[in-house]
Amino acid sequence: MNRTLSLIALLIAAPAAAQMKTLNGAGATFPYPIYSKWFDEYHKVKPDLQINYQSIGSGGGIRQVTERTVDFGASDGPMTTQQQFKVDGKILHIPTVLGAVVPAYNLKDVADLKLSGPVLADIYLGKITRWTDPAIAQLNADAKLPDAAITVVHRSDGSGTTYCFVDYLSKVSAEWKKKVGLATAVNWPVGLGGKGNEGVAGLVKGTPNSLGYIELIYAKQNDIAYASVQNKAGKFIKASVDGVTAAAASAKMPKDFKVSITDAPGEAAYPISTFTWLLIYEKNTGDKGPVLKDFLKWMLKDGQAMTAALGYAPLPLSVNQMVSQAIEVIK
């Protein structure tokens, strides 16, 4: 009798188990903390849906979307026209949050380092090699800068964080734009490479006199100091949700949502700010389109309230409304 009851119980449970849906995504490390939070919270709302996400860098996300080995990708650098031509089907760039890339540093007894765009560019070009260089000293008259070589740290993988950083450097340094340029992966003139925001954060934290660039939340979570950056209005701004929001205020959002907000105007704007995007197929297999659309609607309504606690800025209301309309084409 007990065996019969057990078989009946298995037969009843089997259809329920079969209803569990799974979405697999991969890409940017920049938004991983907020995506991880969202996917966990959404699972509480939709317990029959499991969203898995691999934090492998924007370059990896774009590659996997192109090869259709994932249900969605993620990138902090928009796909180029050439990259999109390689995809079987149309890709939508869906902005999710805004964030800041910060110059993270490891200097003893320097609590508030100040840097400008041209100085950052010259450090990463290998032209400024010591912390006591006059260009740095002039910006930090009251700081006890060490007479030591700068250990430069950058990403070793294809990265949207890199895209944002070099997008900024390309705007403030003609030499950077000409010699290195703008991409998710560039030929670095100098420095050590770390994989992911996690890798760069680890190298900076473990290397005295180092300087790297990471997403704000990684600096906060790892207790790493980060510099104030001089903005277009000449003000030194410490990265914050308010500074990122101010940077986005002047942006004119195009229909494809591909927009740069680095070196934005405004006295309160933090200059190394960016949107980050989910890469969504317009036409999906099976019922994955409606499932993705439902998640995106939740993200736009409930998910945005979770951003500030993790150091991200929510989408401006006007952009939120544009995205709400744009996702209706997802099938």
DSSP character string of 9-67: HHHHHHHHHHT-EEEEEEE-STTHHHHHHHHHHHHHH-TTEEEEEEE--HHHHHHHHHH
For residue 310, pLDDT over 50 is answered with: yes
For residue 4, pLDDT over 50 is answered with: no
Beta strands at 210-215 and 151-155: parallel, antiparallel or unpaired = parallel
Taking residue 238's Cβ as centre, other Cβ atoms within 10 Å add up to: 15
In the chain the domains, ranked by start, together with CATH numbers, are 21-97+275-329 (3.40.190.10), 100-273 (3.40.190.10)
Q: What is the pLDDT of residue 323?
A: 96
For residue 298, pLDDT over 70 is answered with: yes
pLDDT in tens, 270-295: 999 999 999 999 999 999 999 999 99
Q: What is the pLDDT of residue 7?
A: 43
Residue 113: which residues within 8 A CB-CB, separation 6 or more?
Answer: 103, 105, 107, 140, 143, 225, 227, 228
What's the half-sphere exposure (Cβ side, CA atoms, 13 Å) at 130?
6
Q: What is the pLDDT of residue 16?
A: 44
pLDDT in tens, 195-233: 999 999 999 999 999 999 999 999 999 999 999 999 999
